[in-house]
Structure 1
Amino acid sequence: MTDGQRHGDRSTAADDDGGTDGIGAVLDEVGPRLRRIRRERGATLEALSEATGISVSTLSRLESGQRRPSLELLLPLARAHKLPLDELVGAPPVGDPRVRTQPIVRDGRTMLPLTRRPGGLQAYKLIQQPGPGEPDPRTHEGYEWLYVLSGRLRLVLGDHDIELGPGEAAEFDTRVPHWFGTAGDAPVEFLSLFGPQGERMHVRARPRRGE
């Protein structure tokens, strides 16, 4: 499956599964969870603001539920608390019967949507089997965050070609040409959070062989 097909399937999966729980319920609990984590660590809003660069007023509104969480807010908070993002937001584990989603399997890639509301932030668990496919970088509107659970993930991003292992994460603007697959002979399992800023896919023109 190409990266473009993956993002296309995302939109379809979200549209077909139009329930009101899932990501909405998770996001509603983020504020109280953030407050509880901060207090358990004995941190003040001022100290957390200094560590993350997020204003005290924004942190306060986030904890009280007056500000909706976003990747731009959650990622620095996850770093400051030294917690995986899924643990920070309390995402339901895969297999939770309340999620009731069907995995999408295509070309060696299994994608399980963890969110049910169309539009906005989308979360997925993916398992990629090793295969002979060559990198085919593409671009589109949006922003993506990846977190490797097991195996090794190869990420081609612009001029970079890197490998990520368990516990490692990457975040990037999807307008930068990108592609990812397995690095080695074993499957890779990872989480993806994707914030769309538009649905149009732009295929990057690849140079002809020999150029």
Structure 2
Amino acid sequence: MDDDDVLDNVGARLRGFRQTLKLTLQELAVRSGMTASTISRLERGLVRPGLEHLLSLSRVYGLPIDELVAAPRVGNPRVHLKPIQKHGLTFIPLGARNEGLNAYKVIYPRASECPAPRYRTHPGREWFYVLAGSVELVQADQRTVLHAGEAAEFTTMTPHWLVNASDDEPAETIAIYGHQGERIHLSELAS
């Protein structure tokens, strides 16, 4: 899709965002500071939006400008993974940090090399998927061993910890933490 194709589709996208929010042209005009006539012309493709139009609409819709216009992604999409190591565990971020959910590959050393377990509690939920080996999830007095290909999700208000369940090989998981879980698990790692 070239630039002209992207720009030709902007009007329909803008109309779609307005209709999704169930706003009339007049309501959007009040919120954006533009006239209803200008918005109508933009949505019908009679006028191509300028930066000032897109900035106003971006604020109203709570979306970045590139999403408003469906701009093609440019640049290198790779994430630069910088492992974090502490207490014998390795956490590898799998995406840019954000305030929502964040994913990590977590490597647990052999059971005999694992640090002493420490129960943690915090608001939220955790989810993990076992890539290799097996891990033992301990929640209060309940123990569950999960093997490669298995996943678990649990509330983190229950005291919990994870450890490699085997002395044969390191275990690897993909873990997804909410903001509170990431803060609890990784703030200690940063120190």
Alignment TM-score, normalising by the size of structure 1: 0.46
The reply on whether 1:169 has 2:151 as its aligned counterpart is: yes
The reply on whether 1:142 has 2:152 as its aligned counterpart is: no
How many Å separate the matches in 2 of 1:100 and 1:180?
26
Q: Which residue is equivalent to 2:50?
A: none
Q: Deviations over 1:151-206 (max 9, x none)?
A: 010110122112110011110111110000111212100000112358875xxxxx
How many Å separate the matches in 1 of 2:89 and 2:106?
7
Q: Which residue is equivalent to 1:156?
A: 138
Q: Which residue is equivalent to 2:188?
A: none
Contact 1:154 1:164 in 2 (8 A): yes
Structure 2 gap segments, 5+ residues each: 1-75, 185-191
RMSD in angstroms over aligned alpha carbons?
2.2
Aligned length: 106
Q: Which residue is equivalent to 2:78?
A: 98
Structure 1 gap segments, 5+ residues each: 1-95, 202-211
How many Å separate the matches in 2 of 1:199 and 1:161?
23
Q: Which amino acid aligns with 1:168?
A: E
Structure 1 position 133, deviation (Å) = 3.2
Q: 2:171 aligns with which of 188, 202, 207?
A: 188
Share of identical aligned residues, percent? Answer: 47
Structure index of larger Rg: 2
Distance 1:128 1:199, change over 3 A: closer
How many Å separate the matches in 1 of 2:126 and 2:89?
18
How many Å separate the matches in 2 of 1:104 and 1:98?
18
Q: Which amino acid aligns with 2:177?
A: F
Distance 1:112 1:174, change over 3 A: same
Q: Which residue is equivalent to 1:114?
A: 94
Distance 1:135 1:119, change over 3 A: same
How many Å separate the matches in 2 of 1:166 and 1:101?
23
Contact 1:153 1:163 in 2 (8 A): yes
Contact 2:125 2:181 in 1 (8 A): no
Contact 1:135 1:156 in 2 (8 A): no
Which runs of structure 2 are paired with 1:1-211 in the superposition (5 Å)? 98-130=78-110, 131-185=113-167, 186-197=169-180
Q: Following TM superposition, where does structure 1 have runs of at least 4 consecutive aligned residues deviating by more than 3 angstroms?
A: 197-201
Distance 1:166 1:116, change over 3 A: same
